[in-house]
Structure 1
Amino acid sequence: MQYCSRILIVAFVLLSFKGFSQKSQMLIARNAVGKLQASFAGKDEPKKQLGIISEGLKAIESADKDSKTKNWTETWAIKSYLTSYAALIETDATASFKYFDTAVVAIKKANSLDKYEDPSGLIKASEHNILIKKQERGNLSYFNNDFKEALDDLREVSDNFPGDSTLALNTAICAQNVQLYDESLKYFKRAKEDSIKNPAVFQKMAQLYLSKYDNENAIKTLEDGLRLNPYNHYLTNDYINLLLDTENFTKAQSLIENNLKVEKGNKLLFFLYGYLQQVGGNNSTAILAYNKALATDQNYFDALYQLGLAYVNTANDALKKSDADKNVQYSSLINRAQFALLRANEINPNDKQTVQLLVEIYTRKKAQDKVQELNRKLQEL
């Protein structure tokens, strides 16, 4: 009987020692957290901080295997806190991401256990550190053009830091590259709402709206971009083209006229102004505009083609007049049309519309050899 009592006493002492041992390990881990925070405040070298972390991790790894302390939220909160900071200050990439992976598992475990008051903010700090590391990993994937991998990380970080416009922008670009257009618009909007001024953002947003056949929002987006970037060449061109595509001719003409006051040598603006005049039946003004565009670039194909067409239209109008010299006017205008279209054909020999207009002109002039030659060419195109 006395022998059995001694065995029980010894067993109790061993259990007590094991419990004390785990509590002492937790105490070491807690002290490591305190030392690390003091080290940050003292701006110690990362090497010293990693030493403190290593000391704390040895203790916490013992505690997270104990049947009792492994179920404490604090155990995993400390582990995630230490490893997440290690991931940020470790310069070796492999070791850094190994710490990161451990921190992710630990914070998940901490959050899965009973609610923990987290008086020292360990969980909150760990989650913050993990997000910073995810942003770093996402940026690496982004710059390696691995947009799908980058999106998974950057989207989560952006949702936690919605005020970071650069982060939102990179997330939007990733989503666009993997063809998640609604997702892309969401993050472009976030960047825009954060007062971003980059004209490329407004261009990309407008393109996304157009892909959804949402012309109204595409126009509004370009207008917003131009308010922040007045007379920006690329935004202006996109806006004018969209106005023309949606037949907002009056607004387009007003915009072109205002921009021509600033960009007096812009051949595209002169061309577009001429085109609008031509659409409105004002061929004589269109001819003046096309010639101004060609004064900047004499090989401007679009301007040459439209100039030839404007001369043909004006020649047709001349025939309707009752003037005595209407035939002379007609002949002169047709000759100018022919000259412009021949230049256009030299620049782009494979454009069918140019060849067809030349066939019409030579037919009027009864130059059958030229008509036959150009018809043969049309069959080859």
Structure 2
Amino acid sequence: MNLKRSILFVGLLFATSTTAVFAQTGNIRKAKTAIGKFEELKGAGTAALGKTSLTEAQTAIDEAVVHDKTKDNPEAWTFYSIIYANIASLDNNAEAAAKAKDGIAKATELDTDKKFAENIKVASQTLGQFKFNQGVASWDKQDYKTAYTDFSDALTYLPGDTTLTFYSGLAAVQNKDYDNAIEKYKALIPVKEYSSHKTVMVDLPKLYLSKGDTTSAIAAAQEAVTAYPNDNDAVVQNIELNLITGNEAKIVSDIEAQLAKDASNKNLHYYLGLAHSAAGNDEKALAAYQKAIELDPNYMEANMNAAVVIMNGGREDLMKLNEDKTLKQADYDKKLGEIKTKIAVAVPYLQKAVDIDPKNVDALKSLKSYYDFINDEAKSAELQAKINALN
């Protein structure tokens, strides 16, 4: 997955912020003028052409923050942070980024009346952009652990940025750091206007499952369905999770409700069959599997499960028949014939499964078991040879 670069908004520089007259010195004015020129060129998409102005600003502000008259001046430290944040961004300079970070902290400390809050915010945005770009570079190198750290660092300067939050979550997922991935994804749940909101909600249950928290996974899946009731991915995931965790009785009604909206969805019919099978409703399960096959005759799983339902029913009948010691031989033979006829219904489904996937050992063994049951030695041997060839 390729991450988009330079997508964060960085505010304009407020170079006209006011301060007391006695604090205005030559170096601060020089720095303000030079960084203003650089910002103009950066705004025009030609930041590299402003490198000379940025260097002039750096020289002036370095002197201002150590001069006795301005070393505790919040404006000086504000422009110090802006200048070094831009140097970091332009030159990919980690040392400059560290200075920008220190400058932001110092400016914030000194700016007790918040006169320079907007400019401090600009510095933070610029430094956040630098951290973001570092994160993208780490992602491109598949160094997801570092990418997560970079994106998370960027969030300290751009709190609440949805794209950064999402990217940091993605990096955590790639690093199998599911706790941090969940934390970042959960932070996006309230932001429904975010473009990837649905992706976040549908993927969150998977993250819970990855760490073995099925209770939270089911809760998150239900939340996704509530938020996106007409989204097939969200609905199907909720169905699958409830089937996995044994909530068949509850999920049957959910599947039927979804089928009312999407009756041609073969997977939903298949899931309905699974739910009925798990609940012991074999007739309803078979009907659901057959509907899925009607929609897609090559639906391997539906063919196999339809056959299993039929054969299991016949096996249960056979067990009951063998347990009944009161039957005369003629009655026994008659009932046995009825069972064979019942089980024979499964053969077309099993044969179809074998035709779809000739190397499917389960399908071959199931078909062989039928021919063993009816004592067709030739067919049984033929199927056994195919099974042996696959081993």
For the criterion TM > 0.5, the same-fold answer is yes
Q: Which residue of 2 aligns with 1:127?
A: 124
Q: Does 1:165 align with 2:162?
A: yes
Q: Which residue of 2 aligns with 1:12?
A: none
Matches within 5 A, 1:1-381: 27-33=26-32, 53-62=54-63, 77-85=78-86, 95-98=90-93, 101-108=95-102, 111=105, 116-117=110-111, 120-121=116-117, 125-142=122-139, 145-195=142-192, 196=194, 198-316=197-315, 329-379=338-388, 380-381=390-391
Q: Which residue of 2 aligns with 1:3?
A: none
- Opposite residue 332 of structure 1, the aligned amino acid is T
Task: From the superposition, tell whether residues 109 and 311 of structure 1 become closer, same or farther in structure 2 (CA, over 3 Å).
Answer: closer
Q: Deviations over 1:135-155 (max 9, x none)?
A: 233345445644333222211
Q: Which residue of 1 aligns with 2:10?
A: none
Aligned 8 A contact 2:208 2:216 in 1? yes
Aligned 8 A contact 2:85 2:97 in 1? yes
Aligned 8 A contact 2:225 2:234 in 1? yes
Alpha-carbon shift at residue 96 of structure 1 (Å): 4.1
Distance in 2 between the 1:200 and 1:293 partners?
A: 28
Aligned 8 A contact 2:292 2:302 in 1? yes
Task: From the superposition, tell whether residues 351 and 110 of structure 1 become closer, same or farther in structure 2 (CA, over 3 Å).
Answer: closer
- Opposite residue 348 of structure 2, the aligned amino acid is F
- Opposite residue 166 of structure 1, the aligned amino acid is T
- Opposite residue 361 of structure 2, the aligned amino acid is K
Q: Deviations over 1:122-170 (max 9, x none)?
A: 6554334212322233345445644333222211222444432222111
- Opposite residue 108 of structure 1, the aligned amino acid is D
TM-score (structure 2 length as normaliser): 0.75
Task: From the superposition, tell whether residues 68 and 159 of structure 1 become closer, same or farther in structure 2 (CA, over 3 Å).
Answer: closer
Q: RMSD value over aligned CA atoms?
A: 3.9
Q: Deviations over 1:33-80 (max 9, x none)?
A: 267569979x9866797665444333334557x786896676655433
Q: Deviations over 1:248-293 (max 9, x none)?
A: 0011111110111111111111112122223333333222222211
Aligned 8 A contact 1:138 1:149 in 2? yes
Distance in 1 between the 2:166 and 2:379 partners?
A: 57
Task: From the superposition, tell whether residues 371 and 154 of structure 1 become closer, same or farther in structure 2 (CA, over 3 Å).
Answer: same
- Opposite residue 92 of structure 2, the aligned amino acid is F
Aligned 8 A contact 1:36 1:53 in 2? yes
Aligned 8 A contact 1:73 1:114 in 2? no
- Opposite residue 383 of structure 2, the aligned amino acid is L
TM-score (structure 1 length as normaliser): 0.76
Alpha-carbon shift at residue 327 of structure 1 (Å): 5.8
Unaligned runs of 5+ in 1: 1-22, 89-94
Aligned 8 A contact 1:362 1:371 in 2? yes
Structure with greater Cα Rg? 1
Task: From the superposition, tell whether residues 103 and 235 of structure 1 become closer, same or farther in structure 2 (CA, over 3 Å).
Answer: closer
Aligned 8 A contact 1:181 1:208 in 2? yes
Alpha-carbon shift at residue 179 of structure 1 (Å): 1.7
Structure number with greater CO (CA < 8 Å, separation at least 6) is: 2
- Opposite residue 227 of structure 2, the aligned amino acid is L
Alpha-carbon shift at residue 232 of structure 1 (Å): 1.6
Alpha-carbon shift at residue 325 of structure 1 (Å): 7.6
Q: Deviations over 1:184-231 (max 9, x none)?
A: 111011111333573321232111111222111101111111111113
Indicate the SS of the match to 1:201.
helix
Indicate the SS of the match to 2:189.
helix
Distance in 2 between the 1:189 and 1:304 partners?
A: 40
Q: Deviations over 1:333-355 (max 9, x none)?
A: 32221121111112122333322
- Opposite residue 356 of structure 2, the aligned amino acid is I
Equivalenced residue count is: 351
Moved more, 30-39 or 260-269: 30-39
Distance in 2 between the 1:26 and 1:370 partners?
A: 100
Aligned 8 A contact 1:205 1:221 in 2? yes
Distance in 2 between the 1:234 and 1:358 partners?
A: 34
Aligned 8 A contact 1:77 1:107 in 2? no
Q: Percent identity?
A: 23
Task: From the superposition, tell whether residues 162 and 52 of structure 1 become closer, same or farther in structure 2 (CA, over 3 Å).
Answer: closer
- Opposite residue 134 of structure 1, the aligned amino acid is K
Aligned 8 A contact 1:35 1:52 in 2? yes
